[in-house]
């Protein structure tokens, strides 16, 4: 009898905790693979007291345009100062200015809660903040927190950043009718008439920077603040962070941007932006350590899942890599890149494992980008079980000439010739990356690598890939590249795989269909190429070698 009563009491307490504060839900441990290729610390999950505060009790009024800023922030402050707990946003339409998170607070949204951030720019002060890896003067973010610990945003609600009040729009991103409607709504056009800005101040801040104050302050930049668009969720130097279940959409610039944070758990999120949104990234994890991203959905205007670590000298001096992350079970719809590293990666990126990602209609699938001057090392990256459908450009792309003038490529082979530069701390490096079980149903190109001659993309392994695409594999300035069990299905006749100015390349168990030429190998710096096909006997009419590389290519019959 005593045992029954004890069990009943425990069950009652568990039910009470779930119904009052969602505390059990917040403490669930993330499913991190135990057989990771690197040693992964256990991700610490925030824990909250059962105390619950409702924003209505602090004066918030739903379903009106009355700002709830003071009520929401007062509830958060009270909760934090009382030792922490849960601040609840009930169902309803809520209009607010910036929300400022505090330690030990779980901001929990109920199903039906729609939080709209006001378009009144007077509510967003100019502050010292960050954007694209550098410290800058920027408007306050709709949701922000600095130097916090044990925080969460959870539930089933929607946070809308009202990004159309901030963002410029390019004419090529809209139909003629949409463009005319946008012009009628107000704003101003650039001199060439191809970019719409929401105000004259936004135009000057973006296109006529010579008119801006020489030394920017919050006071003298006020007329141009619409050009200083904030990221929507800015969490800086925070520890034990949980984002779970909510929708973040329509951000002024990047959407969710944890910077210099540790122990992150991001799961069950929906992150949305209009497809035409300028700088409309989904998730930018920047100079962070130890975390998981799981079961999230992205449909955005720029890159979706982005790994960054600062830009140029400021990023190198900070020296904080993004490291020790596991990213699983996510779906990306529209985005420029499904999973991206760079281009701001000057502090380095290492020990990242991604598995079970699906990209449907994403412009580019796996995207790795940088440029001379960035510096930084990207290494020890594992990608497994990646599925792509209807990719308009490259399924996998390495571009070490991002933002530079387009370099001239041979229209048939994709070969480029680039002058070698001295290696220095500003030279970016991409190495030790492993791709396994990659399946692509339609892309313009299967794989394109554009490395730099002084620091070739190095030690890449591609295993078990089935790719249907218009163009095949093109590789420039790469070293120690291994292809195993590749099935390439070309929808247009051409070269299945071309290798230029690359060394120590091994191709084994390679199958292609639809091609009119299996391999092309060229480039004066090319050395040690081994080619093998498992379905067609390789003969020299299927392999074209430039004169300079004939002694460097081994064909295995």
Q: What is the pLDDT of residues 158-201, one digit of tens each?
A: 999 999 999 999 999 999 999 999 999 999 999 999 999 999 99
Statement: residue 42 has pLDDT above 70: yes
How many of the other CB atoms lie within 10 Å of CB of 111? 10
Statement: residue 142 has pLDDT above 80: yes
pLDDT-derived band at 244 (thresholds 50, 70, 90) equals very high
CA 474/CA 446 separation, integer angstroms: 8
β-pairing, 377-399 vs 364-369, is parallel
End-to-end CA distance of the chain: 78
For residues 149-161, average pLDDT:
98
CA 512/CA 534 separation, integer angstroms: 9
Read off the pLDDT of residues 272-308 as tens digits, 9 standing for 90 and up: 999 999 999 999 999 999 999 999 999 999 999 999 9
Task: List alpha helices for 86-209, DSSP H.
Answer: 176-184, 200-207
For residues 51-70, average pLDDT:
97
pLDDT-derived band at 132 (thresholds 50, 70, 90) equals confident
Which residues are within 8 A (CB) of 132 and not within 5 positions of it... i.e. 6 or more apart? 311, 344
How many of the other CB atoms lie within 10 Å of CB of 82? 12
For residues 510-538, average pLDDT:
88
Measured in degrees and rounded to the nearest 5, phi and psi for residue 209 equal -65, -15
Statement: residue 243 has pLDDT above 90: yes
Measured in degrees and rounded to the nearest 5, phi and psi for residue 319 equal 60, 35
CA 304/CA 323 separation, integer angstroms: 18
Statement: residue 334 has pLDDT above 60: yes
Which residues are within 8 A (CB) of 215 and not within 5 positions of it... i.e. 6 or more apart? none
CA 112/CA 156 separation, integer angstroms: 7
Statement: residue 318 has pLDDT above 60: yes
Q: Provide the percentage of residues in the chain whose pLDDT is more than 90.
A: 87
For residues 512-517, average pLDDT:
94
* Domain annotation for the chain: domains and CATH numbers: 168-228 (no CATH), 302-556 (2.160.20.10)
Give the per-residue pLDDT at 503.
97
pLDDT-derived band at 13 (thresholds 50, 70, 90) equals very low
**Angle at CA of residue 236, ends 233 and 238, nearest 5°:** 105
Residue holding tokens 């390019």? 170
CB-based burial, 292-316: b 16+ in 10 Å, e otherwise: bbbbbbbbbbbbbbbbbbbbbeebb
Q: Provide the percentage of residues in the chain whose pLDDT is more than 70.
A: 93
CA neighbor of 469 nearest in space, from 530, 396, 519: 396
């Amino acid at each position: 009898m005593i045992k029954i009563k004890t069990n009943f009491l425990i069950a009652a307490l568990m039910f009470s905790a779930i119904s009052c504060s969602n505390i059990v839900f917040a403490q669930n441990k993330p499913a991190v693979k135990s057989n990771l290729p690197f040693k992964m610390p256990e991700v610490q999950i925030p824990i909250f007291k059962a105390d619950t505060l409702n924003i209505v009790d602090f004066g918030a009024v739903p379903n009106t345009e009355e700002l709830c800023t003071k009520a929401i922030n007062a509830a958060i402050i009270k909760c934090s100062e009382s030792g922490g707990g849960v601040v609840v946003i009930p169902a309803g339409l809520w209009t607010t200015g910036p929300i400022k998170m505090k330690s030990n607070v779980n901001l929990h949204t109920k199903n039906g809660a729609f939080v709209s951030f006001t378009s009144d720019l007077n509510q967003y002060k100019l502050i010292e903040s960050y954007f694209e890896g550098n410290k800058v003067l920027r408007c306050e973010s709709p949701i922000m927190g600095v130097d916090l610990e044990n925080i969460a945003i959870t539930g089933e609600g929607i946070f809308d950043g009202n990004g159309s009040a901030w963002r410029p729009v390019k004419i090529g991103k809209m139909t003629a009718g949409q463009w005319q409607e946008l012009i009628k709504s107000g704003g101003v056009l650039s001199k060439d008439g191809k970019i719409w800005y929401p105000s004259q101040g936004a135009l000057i801040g973006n296109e006529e920077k010579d008119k801006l104050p020489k030394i920017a302050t919050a006071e003298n930049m006020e007329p141009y603040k619409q050009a200083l668009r904030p990221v929507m969720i800015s969490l800086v130097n925070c520890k034990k962070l949980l984002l779970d279940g909510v929708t973040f959409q329509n951000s002024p610039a990047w959407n969710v941007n944890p910077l210099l944070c540790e122990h992150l758990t991001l799961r069950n999120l929906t992150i949305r932006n209009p497809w035409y949104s300028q700088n409309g990234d989904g998730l930018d994890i920047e100079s962070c350590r130890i975390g998981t991203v799981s079961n999230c959905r992205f449909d955005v205007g720029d890159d979706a899942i982005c790994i960054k670590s600062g830009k140029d000298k400021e990023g190198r001096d900070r020296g904080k890599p993004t490291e020790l992350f596991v990213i699983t079970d996510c779906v990306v719809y529209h985005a420029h890149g499904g999973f991206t590293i760079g281009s701001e990666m000057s502090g380095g990126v290492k020990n990242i494992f991604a598995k079970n990602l699906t990209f449907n209609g994403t412009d580019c699938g796996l995207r790795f980008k940088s440029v001379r001057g960035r510096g930084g090392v990207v290494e020890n990256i594992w990608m497994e079980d990646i599925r792509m459908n209807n990719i308009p450009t490259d399924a996998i792309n390495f571009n070490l000439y991002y933002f530079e003038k387009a370099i001239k490529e041979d229209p048939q082979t994709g070969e480029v010739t680039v002058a070698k530069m001295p290696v220095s701390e500003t030279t970016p490096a991409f190495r030790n990356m492993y791709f396994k079980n990659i399946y692509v149903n339609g892309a313009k190109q299967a794989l394109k690598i554009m490395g730099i001659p002084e620091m070739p993309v190095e030690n890449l392994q591609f295993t078990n890939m089935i790719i249907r695409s218009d163009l095949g594999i093109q590789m420039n300035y790469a070293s120690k590249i291994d292809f195993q069990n590749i099935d390439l299905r070309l929808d247009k006749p051409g070269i299945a795989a071309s290798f230029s100015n690359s060394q120590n390349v091994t191709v084994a168990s390679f199958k292609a269909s639809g091609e009119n030429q299996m391999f092309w190998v060229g480039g004066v710096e090319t050395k040690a190429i081994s080619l093998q096909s498992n379905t067609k006997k390789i003969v020299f009419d299927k392999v074209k070698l430039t004169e300079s590389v004939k002694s460097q290519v081994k064909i295995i019959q």
